[in-house]
Amino acid sequence: MNGPEMVVMIVMIVVIGRIIQLRYTAGNTARSSEDGRESDRLREEVRALKERIQTLERLATDDNSSTRLDREIEALRDRNNERTRHDD
């Protein structure tokens, strides 16, 4: 291989490597956006579950009448039903 052919080969290798690198980077960017949305959804779900646990802990440890306890449980069910309707 003489000098000009070697230069052409080096340039082709660099260009092909750059194209592969750009395709790989572009694929990860799209995936990151999807991961971000999924992450946000999971954070919201964890927040809602923590809120429910706090309410249930309070209900289990407080001395309440059965009527108030029933109202609190129904309120939790209503909130859960509203969230599941919004997720659909």
Task: Please report the pLDDT score of residue 1 as a whole number.
Answer: 66
Residue 39 has what pLDDT? 87
d(CA 84, CA 82): 6
- Using alpha carbons, select from 88, 58, 87, 41 the residue that is nearest to residue 75: 58
Q: For the chain, report the end-to-end CA distance as a whole number of angstroms.
A: 64
Q: What residue spans define the domains of the chain?
A: 3-87
From CA 21, how far away is CA 49, in angstroms rounded? 41
The answer to whether 83 and 48 have CB atoms below 8 angstroms apart is yes
Q: Which token pair is 83? A: 């969230």
Per-residue pLDDT of the chain (88 residues; tens, 9 = 90+): 687 888 888 889 999 999 888 888 776 665 666 778 888 899 999 998 998 888 888 877 776 677 777 787 788 888 877 766 666 5
